[in-house]
Amino acid sequence: MANHSYLLVSLLLFSSLFSHSIVFGANTDGYRVLTVQSLPLPAESCTSKEYKKPGLKIIHKYGPCSPISGQKATTLEIIQRDESRVNWLQSQLTDDSSRVDVQDITVPAYLGTSFRTTNYIVTVGFGTPKKDMTLEFDTGSDLTWIQCQPCAGSCYPQQQPIFNPSDSSSYLNLSCSSTQCSQLSLVIGCSSSTCVYFTAYGDGSNSTGFFAKDTLSLTQSDVFPSFLFGCGQQNTGLFGNTAGLLGLGQGVLSLVSQTASKLGRVFSYCLPPTSSSPGYLTLGPDTIPSGIKFTPLLKNVNRPTFYFLNMTGMSVGGQALPIPASTFASPGTIIDSGTVISRLPPSVYATLRSAFRQAMSNYTVAAPVSIFDTCYDFSGQGDISVPTITLSFEGGVDVLVDFSGIILAASQTVGCLAFAGNVNAGSWTIIGNRQQRTFDVIYDIAGGRVGFSPGGCS
């Protein structure tokens, strides 16, 4: 076996899920049977789990294992932030403009607003000697950036000391005339001939600073001496005490692309069903299991960051929904680690909702909660039969969604269908992380494909 390097992560998601009060039963006749005493509150304890592949941990910053102090959020707060992320993604996917001159930008003064958080955090090392920085990671972003001294009076609070470039013997600012500076698809400016980046998000949060390179340490053996990143001097918004963001998109400046010579542009992760159990992220070709089915990774030269798939259909209770595959084709589908709830075309969601409601007609309907319009009151219930939901993709790939991706617990007694419809038919379909749970999701960028292997977190 080739000596490939791996990045292992423990992924802990926020928990508004059924956990110890549920006993999963047989999956027969298109239904999952489980026993529910109540819908529990978010998990308060951290359950460790070891995997064979060594590496770094990634956890959910709102979970019980989070190293970021004081980070709490209810399910509905997370969903509200998810709406902000979806709006940002839709704007990025539909905006054909690529490069904008920095003097044409008016920086919004959204002090105190919430960053369109991705929720997952990882600790990596920057500089020589290395300084540990806890970052959010995101398959929907390319540029990695961290807060840097001096902050010019505009840095938000973070858990670790803010990175000081003068303490690193390997730090180097990049000039405006450098090839690397020209690779930025974000806003570019110059300050004393030094390349300046500007990145903004849908809620008004933003980061501005020097485009630089320094040593990035993922593990003791995975060290990259000339990693390109943003050294943020002015940063606005609430980024949850993290030091910045780690980009796992497929653009030229992403972590995946910059480490390609060693890690082969292949990575995978598994998101566990609850926040009290770990998952993992690995990098390297040896992460691909045998016998897995893949769906093609589609190319979009105008939007190179995102991961595009061809979704072809859905099933409820083992029965295919009467939805033409062409319904998903325009404008298309992306898979995203940072979006929580999958967003579907309006007509697809209406068909899914109708079939799901029919299958759940024996249960008491509850009032809508936030973006969820199909909710049930399970007070006093014992066994519950929930119809299965399957997502189908080109190549005969069927993803049988875990129960945690079908029902979201809005309270101890109310559970809702964990999907949402887009506002209009022109919006992109987004496969969110809740519907990816328990699968080993393999991104083989070099091979132009994405695979789903069940039981990835077992």
Is residue 26 scored above 50 in pLDDT? no
Instruction: Classify residue 372 by its DSSP letter.
Output: B
| Average pLDDT of the segment spanning 51-55 | 55
- Provide the pLDDT for residue 158: 87
| CATH architecture of residue range(s) 291-453 | Beta Barrel (2.40)
Is residue 111 scored above 70 in pLDDT? no
Helical spans, DSSP H, in 38-74: none
Question: Chain-wide mean pLDDT for the chain?
Answer: 81
CA 146 vs. chain centroid, Å, equals 18
Residue closest to 352 by CA, chosen among 399, 449, 417: 417
Give yes or no for a contact between 90 and 428, defined as CB atoms under 8 angstroms apart.
Answer: yes
CATH class for the domain made up of 52-280? mainly beta
- Provide the pLDDT for residue 105: 29
279 vs 98, which has greater pLDDT? 279
Q: Which residue numbers are catalytic? A: 138, 336
| pLDDT above 70 as % of the chain | 78
Give yes or no for a contact between 430 and 412, defined as CB atoms under 8 angstroms apart.
Answer: no
60 vs 383, which has greater pLDDT? 383
Amino acid at 262: K
- Provide the pLDDT for residue 288: 81
Q: What is the pLDDT of residues 365-419, one digit of tens each?
A: 999 999 999 999 988 887 789 999 999 999 999 999 998 899 998 888 889 999 9
Q: What is the pLDDT of residues 306-356, one digit of tens each?
A: 999 999 999 999 999 999 999 999 999 999 998 999 999 999 999 999 999
Numbered ranges of CATH 2.40.70.10 in the chain: 52-280, 291-453
- Provide the pLDDT for residue 100: 36
Cα angle 282-288-292, degrees, rounded to a multiple of 5: 135
Is residue 277 scored above 90 in pLDDT? no
| Average pLDDT of the segment spanning 358-366 | 96
| Average pLDDT of the segment spanning 229-254 | 87
Count how many Cα atoms sit within 13 Å of the Cα of residue 269 in the half-sphere of its side chain: 26
Give yes or no for a contact between 444 and 256, defined as CB atoms under 8 angstroms apart.
Answer: no
Q: Is the pTM of this model over 0.75?
A: yes
Instruction: Classify residue 48 by its DSSP letter.
Output: -
- Provide the pLDDT for residue 101: 37
